[in-house]
Amino acid sequence: MKSTKLLQVALLSSFMVLGWSCKDKEDTEPVIDPSSEVAVNNWIYDVMDEVYYWVSDLGTPIADDSDPEDYFESLLYKPTDRFSVIYPDYQELINSLSGVTLEAGYEFQLYLESTGSTNVIAEISYVKKGSPAEAAGLVRGDIITHINGVQMTTENYRELLGETEAQHTITYLSINPSSLVYEEQAPLTLEVVQLSENPNYIDTVYTIEGQKIGYFMYNFFAPGNGGTSTVYDQETDEIFAKFKAEGIQHLIIDFRYNGGGYVSSATNLASLIAPNVTNTDIFSKTKYNNILMSEIPELANVKTAFKVKAQNLGNILEGNRVYVLTSQRTASASELVINGLKPYLDVFMIGDVTYGKNVGSIPFEDEDNPDNPYGILPIVSQSFNSLDQSDYSTGFTPNIEVRESSERLSPLGNVNELLLRTAIEQITGVPSSGRFEKLDRKDIGSTLERKVRFGNMIENQIIK
């Protein structure tokens, strides 16, 4: 019988009452080795055949003794479904969704070295606190050219990125702060550790041209560092309490590196921003496949309400506006927040067109079979705001379009950093007097896109 514990938590407790499960197997069916591909694939099919959002368009399965990853792919509704994924280890999947991964602790953007070149360079986007990369002195804007002594190219960079998941050596350039010239550094060997990344990356209050501005960089949605922990949500609340105590007039939320995560944390953040909301005001609505909604009436009208938060800033934001910094890697739960806030205040976006994902997932494990290590993240739902709007499958277009890649990277939180500078100019009405070199670079990818959480909106809720 299929494990439905996570689904029960995520959707409604009614699943427990109704005893929702897979079809009973006939006693006469042959015994299947629980460690076999057949056992894994039968479980995959049972889950997908009941919860998959596009269940009516479920693909024709290949042989049930196929590799589970190939079998899962055969079931997906292509090309519409760009998002459902399978992972070889369920626990690693859950850890990754909470920001716990084995890594050196830095993210980077990939570019062609120059027009017409096949060489690839990696510019560090940000370094994680408490990581080996931070201890080694790497900083945002450093440029990596080689991994384990091999020059990155368009042919090999994907393979080389895989080598960063274990101890590895990088050859890199760092800018000389006096000459502003990039200089090659000695090769650096980086260890990998089990790192718990905190999504609350930067919070600062600026006073510029008489305007008090709160800036919050939030890099993924997770309530805590695993299990039922809500330590990150609590820290977010404390940051907004500080903003409120300091009497900010404007709020900038930086989602440029935020590829998604848990809906519960998205609801928490939105509840700190939307003005005058109560626990009867609707943040989002969720729709499941037609079979689920017809067989389980409680799923036909699922609504997520805002929380009442003492730290809410909505009433003190001038012009009933929040500024959101975006990129093409702003995805899923980040877009859920943007969409959910739009009926309540002016969401003014600065950056690039967002990723475009209005559907959600639930992580499944086979609790009845300890020999099956796999986890799957199928698309099970579509999200709407209180006005029944869900028209962002191609992304949200910013009010002011500007790409981070068009300049050399300044430190995050620095008022001269491109996206933050543009938001401050919009708030104060005073253009920056600085001179900044413009670059024309071809963006070919980011390590953020390799994260399990990237592009995922995780529907299961932490029970509180």
Alpha carbon of 269 to those of 218, 222, 261, 328, 345: distances in Å?
10, 11, 12, 21, 14
- Count the neighbouring beta carbons within 10 Å of the beta carbon of residue 195: 19
The correct CATH number of 100-195 out of 1.20.1250.20, 3.40.50.261, 2.30.42.10, 3.30.360.10 is 2.30.42.10
Listing DSSP states for 21-36 in one string gives -PPPPPTTSPP--TTS
User: What local confidence, expressed as pLDDT, does residue 2 receive?
Assistant: 36
For residue 100, what pLDDT band results from cuts at 50, 70 and 90? Answer: confident
Percent of the chain scoring above 90 in pLDDT: 79
Q: Angle 231-245/263-271 helices, nearest 10 degrees?
A: 10
User: CB of 206 within 8 A of CB of 215?
Assistant: yes
State the span(s) of the chain assigned CATH 3.90.226.10: 198-358+382-436
pLDDT at 459 over 70: no
Average pLDDT over residues 348-367: 95
CA atoms within 13 A on the CB side of 431: 4
Q: Helix, strand, coil: what percent of the chain each, to 5? A: 25, 25, 50
Alpha carbon of 383 to those of 43, 50, 77, 358: distances in Å?
26, 19, 18, 6
pLDDT at 456 over 60: no
CA 355/CA 328 separation, integer angstroms: 5
pLDDT, one tens digit per residue, over 157-176 is 999 999 999 999 999 999 99
User: CB of 318 within 8 A of CB of 212?
Assistant: no
pLDDT at 371 over 50: yes
More confident residue, 414 or 114: 414
CA 51/CA 304 separation, integer angstroms: 20
Partners of residue 377 on adjacent β-strands: 85
CA 406/CA 352 separation, integer angstroms: 11
CA 103/CA 128 separation, integer angstroms: 10
For residue 128, what pLDDT band results from cuts at 50, 70 and 90? Answer: very high
Give 214's contacts (C-beta < 8 A, 6+ positions apart). 203, 204, 205, 243, 246, 248, 250, 251, 252, 313
Average pLDDT over residues 79-90: 93
Angle at 30 between CA 29 and CA 31, to 5 degrees: 120
Percent of the chain scoring above 70 in pLDDT: 91
CA 12/CA 338 separation, integer angstroms: 25
Alpha carbon of 307 to those of 76, 216, 264, 278, 298: distances in Å?
35, 20, 10, 7, 21
Partners of residue 8 on adjacent β-strands: none
For residue 464, what pLDDT band results from cuts at 50, 70 and 90? Answer: very low
| DSSP element (H, E) containing 96 | helix 90-97
* Helix, strand, or coil (residue 108): strand
More confident residue, 230 or 92: 230
Lowest mean pLDDT among 65-74, 83-92, 413-422: 83-92
Query: Domain 198-358+382-436 is in which class?
Result: alpha beta
pLDDT, one tens digit per residue, over 233-287 is 999 999 999 999 999 999 999 999 999 989 999 999 999 999 999 999 999 999 9
More confident residue, 456 or 238: 238
User: What local confidence, expressed as pLDDT, does residue 455 receive?
Assistant: 53
Average pLDDT over residues 344-368: 95
CA 54/CA 290 separation, integer angstroms: 9
pLDDT at 21 over 50: no
Average pLDDT over residues 18-37: 64
State the span(s) of the chain assigned CATH 2.30.42.10: 100-195
User: What local confidence, expressed as pLDDT, does residue 451 receive?
Assistant: 67
CA atoms within 13 A on the CB side of 238: 8
